[in-house]
Amino acid sequence: MIGFSPSKIDLDKLRMLVEHRLCELGHLETQQFPLTMREVIRGGNRCGFYFCLHGPRSVKLTAICDLKRKSILYYGPDGIRKDTVELPLLSDSMLEKAG
């Protein structure tokens, strides 16, 4: 069976994808505002990533990459979920398959 391994994620591509989508949601220019990323740990294991785009006037847009559910949840500056993207639908270069 082919599975996905969290250690096989191309973090640079994931970060660029998340930044691009958050900027679209906030009507912001890409690469103009800082994006922070933190690992989400549950039971001592990495289960996802938390992203926060720090826009102008203390505006914050966030995203959660859930590795267990293989999805990315995007939240607007009001904290309401705006979009969900399934990881298998992303390009194969984003996730390397482990056999």
Q: What is the pLDDT of residue 89?
A: 53
* Token pair listed for 88: 């298998």
Q: What is the pLDDT of residue 87?
A: 79
pTM: 0.79
Q: What is the pLDDT of residue 65?
A: 95
Q: Which residues of the chain have pLDDT under 70?
A: 1-8, 88-99
- Residues of the chain with pLDDT > 70, as a percent, come to 80
Alpha-carbon dihedral angle through residues 70, 75, 79, 80, given to the nearest 10 degrees: -80
